[in-house]
């Protein structure tokens, strides 16, 4: 007698409520052998407080929180902009920089004002993306990636999101907001980090976890 083995496609929760990030991540993970689910399936779940001082810790904390709350294999990321002449600010505070009501135009104005106050006409900067993959209580994979650039002389471009208009990428001589989604993904902190996750998942170690 033959046995029928039901082997459903494993699920992967992308644990972010940021629509722009979800778009970039989905583009990076398209075609992986996992059914991608988002937090839309848990509309009443409130986000955890982000209290850690590093991107890596925040990514781990978020992944652990959402994995525990949903029971799903979960990837979470924490990302932000570090500006050298501002001693790494806004860093892990990138989303909250300038307060809860601040628009990105307000955030840019604050950054240019702070740079002027330091007499820093030009400065290097980097975007950082840390991600963590958690199943139950187990941290399965963690990585971080950066893209190095400069703060543009003023905001330019309408693509991307967040701080993209003020981040100048020297090899392309444009801001990230002036790149196509494919160009941004090819060099970005998030593109690199999620391509590493993709390689890890495609190597297969988690494929039996929630089957």
Q: Which residues bind ligand IMP (CB under 6 A)?
A: 18, 50, 78-81, 94-95, 127, 160-164, 188, 190
Q: How far is the CB of 204 from ligand IMP (least distance, A)?
A: 28
**CA 151 centroid distance within chain:** 20
Residue of minimal Cβ distance to ligand IMP:
162
| Comparison of 74 and 94: residue with beta carbon closer to ligand IMP | 94
Nearest residue to 166 (alpha-carbon basis) of 119, 113, 117, 118: 113
Nearest residue to 126 (alpha-carbon basis) of 150, 93, 107: 150
What does the DSSP 8-state code read for residue 2? P
Rounded Cα–Cα distance for residues 133 and 65 (Å): 11
| Comparison of 9 and 153: residue with beta carbon closer to ligand IMP | 153
Sheet with 35-38, side-by-side order of all strands? 35-38, 11-14, 74-83, 124-135, 138-151, 167-169, 174-175
| Comparison of 45 and 95: residue with beta carbon closer to ligand IMP | 95
| Strand stretches in the chain, DSSP E | 11-14, 35-38, 74-83, 124-135, 138-151, 167-169, 174-175
| Comparison of 146 and 210: residue with beta carbon closer to ligand IMP | 146
Q: How far is the CB of 74 from ligand IMP (least distance, A)?
A: 15
Rounded Cα–Cα distance for residues 30 and 16 (Å): 17
As beta bridge partners, residue 79 has: 129
Q: Residue 40 catalytic?
A: no
Q: How far is the CB of 127 from ligand IMP (least distance, A)?
A: 6
Q: How far is the CB of 14 from ligand IMP (least distance, A)?
A: 13
Of 20, 40, 61, 78, which one is the catalytic site residue? 78
Q: How far is the CB of 85 from ligand IMP (least distance, A)?
A: 18
User: Three-class SS of residue 138?
Assistant: strand
| Comparison of 55 and 141: residue with beta carbon closer to ligand IMP | 55
Q: Write out the catalytic residue numbers.
A: 78
């Amino acid at each position: 007698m033959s046995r029928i083995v039901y082997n459903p496609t494993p699920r992967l929760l992308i644990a972010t409520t940021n629509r722009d990030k979800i778009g970039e991540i989905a583009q990076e993970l398209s075609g992986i052998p996992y059914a991608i689910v988002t937090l839309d399936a848990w509309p009443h779940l409130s986000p955890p407080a982000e209290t850690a001082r590093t991107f890596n810790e925040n990514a781990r904390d978020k992944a652990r929180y959402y994995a525990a709350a949903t029971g799903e294999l979960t990837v979470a990321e924490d990302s932000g902009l570090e500006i050298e002449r501002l001693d790494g600010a806004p860093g892990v505070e990138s989303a909250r920089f300038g307060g809860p009501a601040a628009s990105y135009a307000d955030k840019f104005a604050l950054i240019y004002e702070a740079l002027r106050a330091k007499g820093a006409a030009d400065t290097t900067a980097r975007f950082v993306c840390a991600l963590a993959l958690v199943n139950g209580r187990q941290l399965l994979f963690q990585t971080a990636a950066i893209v190095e650039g400069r703060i543009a002389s003023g905001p330019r471009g309408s693509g991307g999101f967040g701080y993209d208009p003020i981040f100048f990428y020297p090899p392309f001589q444009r801001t990230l907001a002036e790149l196509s989604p494919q160009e941004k993904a090819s060099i970005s902190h998030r593109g690199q980090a999620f391509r590493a996750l993709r390689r890890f998942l495609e190597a297969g170690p988690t494929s039996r976890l929630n089957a």
